[in-house]
């Protein structure tokens, strides 16, 4: 009798362990799936992060000035910044000067950004299955911009089909504009890939301050448009 109870207890323990393992596996799968994409709600949650006080450039230089490694890192980041002219300004200013689409063997597609950030009609056209990358030129004034990042969300017939995000890094103010080229991508191909898309591009920083938001439309065709 004791042996039977012991066996039943062992069997019960075995079943419980298997169930527990299944639950852990289920949670693991959910976490893996949710970690594959960042939702817009999660992007909005970034604004709830407390990032600490902001400092002017002069304050940055004075802070931790006795730490030689930090001092050298700050000097390298600031480069040839004229602290006497801009060192007292707290808020950084980032101005996107130009956006260009680069594709091998094709003329550059220069995108003009209207002041309201909403280009009218189709902003540009890409050929299906073509390689391309985005190059943008921007200028930083007043103060260091921390955690500048680029996000891009694309919809087709109201359904989200793609979302990209890239951290660009901190940038110090300087007279010369910065240039950044995004990683190369390939447009989708096939009958279902062709057609019109809507998209939204943003340039934000660690404080979730948006320096530029562009809402636009583009299309993918079987061939490049005539130049």
Tens-digit pLDDT profile for residues 92-123: 899 999 999 999 999 999 998 888 889 999 99
Question: Does 212 or 174 have the greater pLDDT score?
Answer: 212
Residues 110 and 98 in one domain: yes
Position 71 pLDDT exceeds 70: no
Position 53 pLDDT exceeds 80: no
The confidence score (pLDDT) of residue 91 equals 84
Position 191 pLDDT exceeds 60: yes
Q: Is the Cβ–Cβ distance between 92 and 143 less than 8 Å?
A: yes
State the average pLDDT for the chain.
77
Helices (H), the chain: 2-34, 40-45, 57-62, 68-78, 83-86
Residues 93 and 83 in one domain: no
Residues 69 and 164 in one domain: no
Residues 95 and 65 in one domain: no
Residues 99 and 186 in one domain: yes
26 pLDDT tier (thresholds 50, 70, 90) = very low
Q: What are the percentages of helix, strand and coil residues in the chain, rounded to 5? A: 30, 35, 35
Residues 165 and 67 in one domain: no
Does this model's pTM top 0.85? My answer is no
Distance CA 149, CA 200 (A): 14
The confidence score (pLDDT) of residue 223 equals 96
Domain total for the chain?
2
**Domain of 82, in residue numbers:** 56-88
Asked whether residue 4 is domain-assigned, the answer is no
Asked whether residue 153 is domain-assigned, the answer is yes
Q: Residue 178's closest CA among 218, 152, 141, 225?
A: 141
Q: Is the Cβ–Cβ distance between 173 and 81 less than 8 Å?
A: yes
* DSSP code at position 111: E
Residues 65 and 115 in one domain: no
Q: Is the Cβ–Cβ distance between 101 and 109 less than 8 Å?
A: yes
Asked whether residue 162 is domain-assigned, the answer is yes
Q: What percent of the chain has pLDDT over 90?
A: 49
Residues 69 and 161 in one domain: no
């Amino acid at each position: 009798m004791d042996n039977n109870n012991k066996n039943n207890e062992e069997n019960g323990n075995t079943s419980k362990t298997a169930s527990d393992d299944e639950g852990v596996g289920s949670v693991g799968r959910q976490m893996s799936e949710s970690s594959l994409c960042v939702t817009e709600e999660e992007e909005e949650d970034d604004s709830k992060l407390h990032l600490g006080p902001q400092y002017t450039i002069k304050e940055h230089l004075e802070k931790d000035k006795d730490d030689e490694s930090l001092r050298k890192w700050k000097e390298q980041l600031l480069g040839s910044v004229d602290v006497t002219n801009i060192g007292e300004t707290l808020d950084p200013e980032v101005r996107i000067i130009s956006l260009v689409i680069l594709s091998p063997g094709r003329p550059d597609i220069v995108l003009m950004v209207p002041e309201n950030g909403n280009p009218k009609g189709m902003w540009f056209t890409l050929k299906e299955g073509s390689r391309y990358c985005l190059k943008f030129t921007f200028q930083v004034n007043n103060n260091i911009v921390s955690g500048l990042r680029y996000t891009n969300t694309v919809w087709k017939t109201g359904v989200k089909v793609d979302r990209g995000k890239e951290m660009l890094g901190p940038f110090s103010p300087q007279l010369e504009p910065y240039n950044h080229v995004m990683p190369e991508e390939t447009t989708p191909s096939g009958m279902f890939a062709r057609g019109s898309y809507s998209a939204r591009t943003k340039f934000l920083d660690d404080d979730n301050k948006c320096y530029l938001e562009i809402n636009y439309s583009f299309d993918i065709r079987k061939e490049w448009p005539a130049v």
